[in-house]
Amino acid sequence: MTSPVGEPGTGRNGGEGGDVVLSVRELSVEYSTGAGAFRAVDGVSFDLTAGAALGVVGESGSGKSTTALALLGLHRNTDARVTGRILLGGPDGVEVNGLDDEGVRRVRGGRIAMIFQDPMTALDPYYRIGDQIAEVYRVHSGADRRAAWTRAVEVLDRVGIPDAARRARARPHEFSGGMRQRALIAMALACEPEILVADEPTSALDVTVQAQILDLLDELRADTGMALLLVTHDLGVVSRSADEVLVMHRGEIVERGPVREVLRAPARPYTRALLDAVPRIDAPRDARPVPGEPLLTVAGVTREFRRPGRGLRRETTRAVDDVSLDVRRGETLGVVGESGSGKTTLVRMMVGLLPPTSGRIVFGGETITGLPDRRLRRIRRDMQMVFQDPASSLNPRRTVGDGIADPLRVRGVPDGEARRTARELMERVGLDPARHDRYPHEFSGGQCQRVGIARALALRPRLLVCDEAVSALDVSTQAQILDLLRDVQEEYGLTIVFVSHDLAVIRQVSDRVAVLRGGALVELADVEKLYASPTHEYTRSLLAAVPVLA
Amino acid sequence: MTLYLLRRLGSLLVLLLVMTAIVYGIFYAIPADPAVLVCGKGCDGGRLASIHHELGLDQPITAQYWHFLEGLIVGRDYSSGPDVSHCAAPCLGYSFQTDLPVLSLIAQRLPVSLSLTTGALVLWTVTGVALGLVSALRERRLTDRLVTVFVLGGLGTPVFVSGLLLLMVFCGWLKWLDFPVYVPLTEDPVGWARNLILPWLTLTILQSAIFTRLTRTGMLETLSEDHIRTFRAYGLPERRVIGRHALRGALTPLISINAVEFGAVLVNAMLTETLFGLPGIGQLIVQSSNNVDLPVVAGLTLTAGLAVVLANTAADLLYAAVDRRVVLT
């Protein structure tokens, strides 16, 4: 252990030494499965003091979210068995685990509130945002309708929703992701809880929005003395916003201490491995010489989408706006931008999945824009894609071996040979070929992504387009997949277009980087140059928003 | 929105044109001659020919169809002997069988069918939602299974079986109700409902299965959604979470199901009317088809097509009003 600070029972409290508002002792959560009991959380103890921010980090399956849910008694009426003590208000406080349902209900939202990862789905789509906040406030305060509405507008204003009185009447789909997360924070604030549990509050948000939300949480904590439990997989976020950190692995706390100490000098090998896997925006990297001739040329490409507007009019959205760039043979071109910047639309046009509204795409000297389907199909075997969600981009009813072999079969490769190639490819991407007759759900996320890469490699393409290919993976898995991509790039002589919202990942894999904003290309430069001295102001603001490890 | 309504109107016109053309096509293809039925006993060749001429059956079928469309849009003149009567647009013509204007025949019977279907619709929606809700909240327990058996049994029973059983039990053995006779709502609301209760139940037994199953799956799905977890995490009482947030999400799809089901409902309503002797559209369809009464059949086809399209449009508009994320195109 790095330091005893924040460890329970020491009598010392982290941060500024405020009162303990939450004491957790020997908390365990057990699920009964077919093969016996599974301990998702195993003997976790910690204290949280008023006004402090405690980070909980770990990879998926580490038990961090399960711990967070247990604090609000959200495992009630499920198969999970919760043991240990959760003391609200410190060592002599209310035992959440011992309360009846009604008691827990009062605590939830009233004394301890929670915000969730996906602000897109965390609000009821059918009701006005102000009404949803007012409803929660009324349940806890007994205020009348009018007073509750006033309170809702007040907290929405507090979390920085512009023109809150009017926007309170909006429904969730009229809010952006960042605004929805603000609205959820407003709901949490409404009843002035002592503790805010934030479960991956910014994982679904763009970096610039993430920075705003984290700033807001800091500010609210300072203003109200509310304690924050920040659950995240992102060490950068913890480094930026927490005072202390708990590192969880397989349900247990493996390391704890002040953030700076833990991140700078981790005591445990697990923490060190976790830190090593994180792509750093400031780490040195070896540059590769970029060959000159283009494999793919995007010439003045624009893509518009039309949807109905008022009356008979139609609204046109320009997803990609007059973009021109070259992808050079053998290089990795990083494409980075926030959500809605047109990254995915652009690469879908590159591989001919979507026709441009204007402009043209040239691949290997041949213009593919406007090419009839039959001829496009022939060219398509040279360009393959790897998608973001590894599990849902594989057919759940095909074995992985068949999934990899299918592109070959489509091209008329005899069945036996296709199967053999599929097994070879599985071996190549680090999967056991003996598992070729298993189904995708029997594989982990990282393994599914390996299957996706094997499938893309089956036809020996010249261009590989990876659309957020590692965004859904844990850092250690992400590092492995990035390694794999680098290896196969060398072996197969691939040209890679790598799309990501993650500036650190882009920096690690790319030779050159294209920055998109609102459909337009704002900057395209060699990776070193772009990160060291960005010329465009937008690129600078993006880079500034990335949380950097201490 | 405007675009949506224009589009719907356009497809309505095309649909009605195609449907009536098919009716005329079928009429042309079948060997039956309505004039023989009109002519009755002691019919001779001369009389039959004059009836043919009177009904316009001596013209080619395309001309007959053209006159039909003409009547719809601008009205048409009928001459029977010396006097000429004008039938103003929208003119559906006169029944071969009874010589009554088709429009008034339909108008007369429409309230009966509307009473039957709307009443049954309310009843099966309420029953289906209630059973589905119970089923979802008692998932995989005895209640859930009993409800499932009950509604699937209902779905598998044809209208004429369940209707007859209801008649036997309530009118025959228990004698709680008289055999249904249609009483207009405007004359005697209590009598209206009393007489329609068995036909309503008959349709409800059949239709509530779909609603029960959909409400059940809808509820289970919504209950696992993130926003439900949000409200539980914010300490809303479970009754409110279910009644206000989960039910709303589960019920919205039922709007469009009601519209999709509308066509099937019309068929079952027709059988129910015939079974209970209710003088509605359904009965008229059966009679006119048996008598090869082309103008009536064509008029009814138009009415049914119109009703289905209107029901679907209403459902779309309602859906967009309930779920603001929906943009009609």
Domain ranges within chain A, ordered by starting residue: 1-111+196-278, 122-192, 390-460
- Is B237's CB within 8 Å of A106's CB? no
pLDDT at A263 > cutoff 80 = yes
Of residues B226, B248, B329, nearest to A116 (C-beta): B226
For residue A162, give the 3-state DSSP assignment. Answer: coil
Query: Of A78, A116, A70, A77, whose CA–CA distance to A96 is shortest?
Result: A70
Of residues B1, B225, B235, nearest to A121 (C-beta): B225
Of residues A116, A124, A139, nearest to B245 (C-beta): A124
Q: Which two tokens stand for residue B56?
A: 């316009």
Of residues B233, B245, B252, nearest to A109 (C-beta): B233
pLDDT top residue among B192 and A17: B192
pLDDT at A44 > cutoff 80 = yes
Q: How does residue A550 score in pLDDT terms, banded at 50, 70 and 90?
A: low
For chain B, what percent of residues have pLDDT higher than 90? 26
Q: Name the CATH superfamily for B102-322.
A: MetI-like (1.10.3720.10)
End-to-end CA distance of chain A: 18
* Cα dist from A409 to A412, A431, A452, whole Å: 5, 21, 16
Contact A360, A299 (CB under 8 A): yes
Angle at A50 between CA A46 and CA A52, to 5 degrees: 70
Query: What per-residue confidence (pLDDT) applies to B183?
Result: 85
pLDDT at A10 > cutoff 70 = no
Give CA–CA dist A108/A101, Å, rounded: 11
- Is A113's CB within 8 Å of B237's CB? no
Give CA–CA dist A422/A435, Å, rounded: 11
Lowest mean pLDDT among A40-54, A275-289, A508-522: A275-289
Q: How far is B213 from chain A (nearest CA, A)?
A: 22
Contact A361, A368 (CB under 8 A): yes
Amino acid at the residue B16? L
Q: How does residue A288 score in pLDDT terms, banded at 50, 70 and 90?
A: low
How many Cβ atoms sit within 10 Å of the Cβ of residue B178? 11
Query: What per-residue confidence (pLDDT) applies to A3?
Result: 42
* Cα dist from A177 to A235, A339, A382, B30, whole Å: 22, 10, 36, 63
Query: Of B241, B254, B269, whose CA–CA distance to B131 is shortest?
Result: B254
- Is B235's CB within 8 Å of A124's CB? no
- The pTM of the full predicted model, rounded to 2 decimals, is 0.82
Q: How far is A73 from chain B (nearest CA, A)?
A: 9
Torsion of CA A17, A22, A25, A29, to 10 degrees: -140
For residue B310, give the 3-state DSSP assignment. Answer: helix
Domain at A1-111+196-278: CATH code: 3.40.50.300
Could you tell me which residues come within 8 angstroms of residue B324 by beta carbon, excluding any fewer than 6 positions away? A126, A171, A173
Query: What per-residue confidence (pLDDT) applies to A286?
Result: 64
The nearest alpha carbon in chain B to A128 belongs to B324
pLDDT at A289 > cutoff 70 = no
- Secondary structure of chain B in HEC code, one letter for each residue: CHHHHHHHHHHHHHHHHHHHHHHHHHHHHCCCCHHHHHHCCCCCHHHHHHHHHHHCCCCCHHHHHHHHHHHHHHCEEEEECCEEEEECCCCCCECCCCCCEHHHHHHHHHHHHHHHHHHHHHHHHHHHHHHHHHHHHCCCCHHHHHHHHHHHHHHHCCHHHHHHHHHHHHHHHCCCCCCCCCCCCCCCHHHHHHHHHHHHHHHHHHHHHHHHHHHHHHHHHHHCCHHHHHHHHCCCCHHHHHHHHHHHHHHHHHHHHHHHHHHHHHHHHHHHHHHHCCCCHHHHHHHHHHCCCHHHHHHHHHHHHHHHHHHHHHHHHHHHHHCCCCCCC
Q: Which two tokens stand for residue A13?
A: 């409290």
For chain B, what percent of residues have pLDDT higher than 70? 98
Tell me the pLDDT tens digit for each residue of A136-194. 999 999 999 999 999 999 999 999 999 999 999 999 999 988 899 999 999 999 999 99
Query: Of B15, B11, B4, whose CA–CA distance to B305 is shortest?
Result: B15
**A102 CB-contact burial (10 Å; exposed 0-12 / middle 13-18 / buried 19+):** exposed
Crossing angle between the packed helical segments B159-166 and B247-276, to the nearest 10 degrees: 80
Q: What are phi and psi of A28, to 5 degrees?
A: -130, 140
Torsion of CA A148, A149, A154, A158, to 10 degrees: 100
- Is A126's CB within 8 Å of B232's CB? no
Q: How far is B322 from chain A (nearest CA, A)?
A: 8
Contact B179, B167 (CB under 8 A): yes
Q: Which of B6, B137, B234 to mutate to test the interface with A (most CBs of A within 10 A)?
A: B234
pLDDT at B227 > cutoff 70 = yes
Name A44's bridge partners: A27
Tell me the pLDDT tens digit for each residue of B42-62. 778 888 888 888 788 888 888
- Is A108's CB within 8 Å of B235's CB? yes
Query: What per-residue confidence (pLDDT) applies to A151?
Result: 96
Q: DSSP code of B242?
A: I
Q: How far is A108 from chain B (nearest CA, A)?
A: 5
pLDDT at A9 > cutoff 60 = no
For residue A113, the chain B residues in CB contact (below 8 A) are 233-234
Query: Of A434, A474, A430, whose CA–CA distance to A452 is shortest?
Result: A430
For residue B252, the chain A residues in CB contact (below 8 A) are 126
pLDDT at B295 > cutoff 90 = no
- Is B226's CB within 8 Å of A72's CB? no
Of residues B234, B237, B244, nearest to A113 (C-beta): B234
